[in-house]
Amino acid sequence: MSLLSIENVWKSYGEVQILERLKLKVDEGEFVSMVGASGCGKTTLLKMILGSETPTRGQILLNNQPIAAEPDEQRGIVFQKYSVFPHLSVLQNVMIADEFSAARFLGRTFGKKKRAIKDKAMTFIQAVGLSHAVDKYPHQLSGGMQQRLAIAQALMKSPKILLLDEPFGALDPGIRKDMHQLIRKVWKENKLTIFMVTHDIQEGFELGSRLWVFDKVRQDLQAPHAYGACVTYDIQLQNQSTQQVSEIIAKKYTKEVINI
């Protein structure tokens, strides 16, 4: 039984068809990278899995249940930016995740409960390598550190699915490499199922166990919005050799994607 199944999902905004005929199944523990030209709908699919957008046709099932139509604790997210609360310190930013559920009215905890949450938060802060900055505020952190914090926040809820929306797009190449290591570690250790949207096709290959390439297969030059994109390549990246082969395919393909 697959964790998430996308059953014939179509999405359009008015006249503009974004996605069509998406039929995909994802098992627990997969790491799906989504690549494609900008505007091809990969972020739209991510938002539909997140629940902040709903499919025009078809449905998305999580454990055979229709997925909730609003964001909730089952799905964690890390955006490219604005993922952390600017008015809270690093520690508070991570603690708030559990305080939301522990104190339904105040959203704050005290005494023993607070210590327990703090200990849990500290382990995740340590896991993402921010223990030296627990009392800092987000504006005092670099872009990479902010993303680490956002990941730690998301891990607090042990979500079934972690969604990454171009999480490393605004980072320097060197820091990006560190973040790749971190996310791989987090994925393995927490047995997460990850969906990641990226512009960087190389990143898509390096990370992840599966790659989805989004593209339009049907084109109408007179009506460019009449048809939507679908997943044209669905590549398993389990071992080194397939990875290399598909990387060659992708390099050829990248040019096409960029030329659009």
Partner 1 sequence: MKKLVNIEPNRSLKVFLAIIPFVIMLLIYWSASNERLAANPYDKLLPSFSQISAAIDRLAFTEDKRSGEYLFWVDSAASLYRIGLGVAISATMGLILGVLSGLLPTFRAGFSPLITIISLIPPMAVLPILFITFGLGELAKVMLIIIGTAPVIIRDIQNQVRQLPTEIMVKAQTLGASTWLLATRVVLPQIMPRLITAVRLSLGTAWLFLIAAEAIAAQEGLGYRIFLVRRYMSMDVILPYVMWITALAFAMDFSLRKLSELCFPWYHQQEAAK
Residues between 61 and 80 that touch partner 1 (CB under 8 A): 70-73, 75-77, 79
Q: Which two tokens stand for residue 21?
A: 């005929």
Distance, in Å, from the CA atom of 136 to the CA atom of 129, rounded to the nearest integer, reads 14
**Binding-site string for partner 1 from residue 15 to residue 54, where x marks contact by CB under 8 A and - marks none:** -----------------------------------x-x--
Which class for 13: exposed (0-12), middle (13-18), buried (19 or more C-beta within 10 A)? exposed
Q: Provide the 3-class DSSP secondary structure of residue 91.
A: helix
Distance, in Å, from the CA atom of 195 to the CA atom of 96, rounded to the nearest integer, reads 24
> What radius of gyration, in Å, describes the C-alpha atoms of the chain?
19
Q: How far is the CB of 150 from partner 1 (least distance, A)?
A: 8
Q: Which two tokens stand for residue 64?
A: 């055979």
Distance, in Å, from the CA atom of 71 to the CA atom of 41, rounded to the nearest integer, reads 19
Residues ≥6 apart with Cβ < 8 Å to 211: 32, 33, 34, 35, 204, 205, 233, 234, 235, 237, 246, 250
Task: By CB under 8 A, tell whether 135 contacts partner 1.
Answer: no
Nearer to partner 1, 139 or 252 (CB): 139
Q: How many residues bind to partner 1 according to rule CB under 8 A?
A: 36
Binding segment (CB under 8 A) for partner 1, from list 29-37, 109-117, 121-129, 136-144: 136-144
**Binding-site string for partner 1 from residue 96 to residue 125, where x marks contact by CB under 8 A and - marks none:** xx-xxx--xx-xx-----------------
Q: Which of 121, 154, 186, 207 binds partner 1 (CB under 8 A)?
A: 154
DSSP 131: G
Q: Which two tokens stand for residue 169?
A: 């797009």
Nearer to partner 1, 39 or 82 (CB): 82
Binding segment (CB under 8 A) for partner 1, from list 7-15, 132-140, 221-229, 235-243: 132-140
Binding site for partner 1 (CB under 8 A): 50, 52, 70-73, 75-77, 79, 81-87, 96-97, 99-101, 104-105, 107-108, 137-140, 150, 153-154, 156-157, 159
